Amino acid sequence: VLTQASEIGANLLGKANAFWKSANKAYEDRVKASTPPAAAAGSSRPKWMTDAAEHEEPEPAARRDRQPKKRPTFTDDGDDHPEDPVLPPRPKPSGSRRPEGPAQPPAAQRDVPTASLFAPAGDAPQSYVSPHRRKPQQPTPSAAPAKPPPPTKPARQYITCSTTILSDAASHRTAGTAAYKLGQFANAEQSFSQAISVLPGGHMGLVPLWNNRAMSRLKTGDGPGAVSDCTAVLELIGTEWKAGDDAADAGGAHGAGMDLGEALVKATTRRAQGYEMNEKWDKAKEDWEKLAGIGNTWGPVGAKAKTEAFRGLDRCRKALAPPPPPAQSTSAASSTPKPKATPKPRPAAVSSGPSEASARLRAANRAAEADEAERYRLKDSIEARLIAWKGGKENNIRALVASLENVLWPELNWVKVGMHELITEQQVKIRYMKAIAKVHPDKLRNATVEHQMIANGVFGALNDAYNVFKPS
């Protein structure tokens, strides 16, 4: 069985191999039959066109000569046959021989740019300009004379002094500032004067001292003294000084690290106020006009001074304006004018010193200074008396009202209130309102300084205690 099977398999394999070889040979024959000959292998024409050209009969020569020659309209790129020329070549002249290559247009035409519809707007060709046109002669610009450089501002020369002198001046200045805050303007002026006497002349530390003494003198009614101090400040700094041009040395050796612009504004403002106090309205108007023109370049100090300058200008204009003529009634205007009597010559005005307004201002300043001094003297005793009255019962409105007779003075006519009269909320409210009415500051304007200080302390303590007691 195995032998028969192997024979059958070998027979089938041989037949299959023979069939494959015959089929492969038949495929190769078909491919060779369909492939064009070698002569036409380089042509791109199809096979049917090549076969038709081979079997086409040649045309007789006589008939071919009679037919007119036509310009070919189509030429195959793969056609190897050269075309026949349409026209014979033009004979070349024998005289001059031109160089081979494309003909070049004239130079003038070569320079003219051609316009394009697709060119951008900025690339439009310009009009033709002949190179032989005479160009106009342009005058050569003469060299401008060199401007002289602006004059340089000389550097400020600072005056120095020892640290001992600076510390003495600072101590006097501190004492003067403390006295001014307490309302003791005469003592403040004296302290500032001592500080000024310590420093050498021309020292930058004199600027704030002069300004502070001018303010103290304005409070005491010394207008000429204030004007003198402010003028000294303006002369030391310089009236032409501007913001950013200069500044005092910040190290302290020259007196400060101060803002000269702020000092200049303060000096100008206080000098204008001094001129107004002396009724020199024209000079005060000049200073106010300077302050009104500085703008806001000096910061908050300049803005505040500018607002105050407008008010000062308004006062000066009103003082310098002539008085309006008296209005005449209609009946008097219609009546026959009466002849005016010849006015008697008035005696020449004689300056009698400061005006009444200046005298009143000085008296008011002296009274205010005395009042402040009295308050400062009684401060400790009044505080001790108030602490003894409200000590430990600051929030107990009943205890405070029941013990008011221990702190109030007899001339106030306060009637003692017992605790049995302060039981209900309504009773507390009624007694509280009566006590507030007795010590209200508006009703004690004519009282002594001591009584006013006691009343102010009692008024504040009762208000705080009632706010705690008051039902929400």
DSSP string, 251-305: TSTTS----HHHHHHHHHHHHHHHHHHTT-HHHHHHHHHHHHTSTTTTTHHHHHH
Q: Minimum mean pLDDT among 36-40, 308-312, 352-356, 389-393: which range?
A: 36-40
Amino acid code (one letter) for 330 = T
Whether residue 309 has pLDDT greater than 60: yes
Domain 163-320 has CATH 3.90.850.10: no
Which segment of 153-157, 228-232, 379-383 scores lowest on mean pLDDT?
153-157
CB–CB of 227/271 below 8 Å?
Answer: yes
User: What is the distance between the alpha carbons of residues 190 and 205, in angstroms, rounded to a whole number?
Assistant: 17
pLDDT given for residue 213 in this prediction = 92
For range 225-245, the mean pLDDT: 76
Coil/strand/helix, residue 445: coil
Stronger pLDDT, 122 or 175, i.e. the higher one: 175
Q: State the Cα–Cα distance between residues 38 and 55, nearest whole angstrom.
A: 17
- Three-state secondary structure readout of 159-175: CCCCHHHHHHHHHHHHH
Report the pLDDT value the prediction gives residue 258, as an integer from 0 to 100: 67
- CATH 1.10.287.3510 for the 365-469 domain, yes or no: no
Burial of 373 (C-beta count, 10 Å sphere; 0-12/13-18/19+): middle
**Judging by beta carbons within 10 Å of its beta carbon (0-12, 13-18, 19+), is residue 293 exposed, middle or buried?**
exposed
Convert the pLDDT of each residue in 246-256 to its tens digit: 554 433 444 44
What's the rounded mean pLDDT across residues 181-186? Answer: 86
Alpha helices, DSSP H, located in 99-184: 107-111, 163-181
**Category of 208 on φ-ψ map: left (φ > 0), alpha (ψ -120 to 50) or beta:** alpha
Contact (Cβ atoms closer than 8 angstroms) between residue 157 and residue 190: no
Residue 195 CB neighbours (<10 A): 23
Confidence of residue 257 (pLDDT cuts 50, 70, 90): low
- Residue pair 396/465 in contact (Cβ under 8 Å)? The answer is yes
d(Cα 192, Cα 172) in Å, to the nearest integer? Answer: 6
At 117-159, the pLDDT tens digits run 455 555 555 666 677 777 666 666 555 556 666 555 556 677 7
Q: Is the pLDDT of residue 299 over 70?
A: no
∠ CA 210-213-217, nearest 5°, is 135
Smallest CA-to-CA distance from 365 within 92, 183, 130 is with 183
Q: Is the overall model pTM greater than 0.85, yes or no? A: no
What does R_g of the chain's alpha carbons equal in angstroms? 60
pLDDT (tens digit per residue) in 103-120:
555 544 455 455 554 555
The rounded distance, in Å, linking the Cα atoms of 437 and 447 is 15
Residue ranges of the domains in the chain? 163-320, 365-469
> How far is it, in rounded angstroms, from Cα 202 to Cα 187?
25
Q: How buried is 434 (Cβ within 10 angstroms: 0-12 exposed, 13-18 middle, 19+ buried)?
A: middle
